[in-house]
């Protein structure tokens, strides 16, 4: 994808669309528990999908995540 820009991702995008349109999505599950706090969901994704050892938040990012949770966005999927 990187070498060809957007054009390089066309085949991948088509395959993702095809898989999303399949009727059999019964095996789908999030990588994290949906009712967990935003930070915990982000950390789970970073570790399980990207192989991160840990996640460090700037004060601004941490404050924004806390604000989002106060506003009721804590249970949104990431």
Quick: pLDDT tens for 13-55. 999 898 888 777 677 788 888 889 999 999 999 999 999 999 9
d(CA 68, CA 46): 19
> 38-48 and 59-70 are packed helices; what angle lies between their axes, rounded to 10 degrees?
120
Question: Nearest 5°: CA angle at 30, between 40 and 55?
Answer: 30
* pLDDT for res 12: 87
How high is the pLDDT of residue 44?
95
pLDDT confidence band for 69 (50 / 70 / 90): very high
State the pLDDT confidence band at 1, using cuts at 50, 70 and 90. low
Encode 30-60 in three state secondary structure. CCCCCCCCHHHHHHHHHHHCCCCCCCCCCHH
User: Whole-structure pTM over 0.75, yes or no?
Assistant: no
């Amino acid at each position: 994808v990187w070498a060809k820009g957007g054009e390089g991702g066309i085949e991948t995008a088509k395959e993702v669309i095809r898989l999303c349109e399949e009727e059999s999505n019964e095996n789908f599950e999030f990588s994290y528990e949906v009712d967990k706090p935003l930070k915990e969901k982000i950390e789970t994704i970073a570790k399980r999908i990207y192989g991160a050892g840990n996640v460090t938040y700037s004060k601004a990012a941490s404050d924004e995540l806390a604000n989002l949770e106060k506003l009721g966005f804590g249970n949104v999927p990431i």
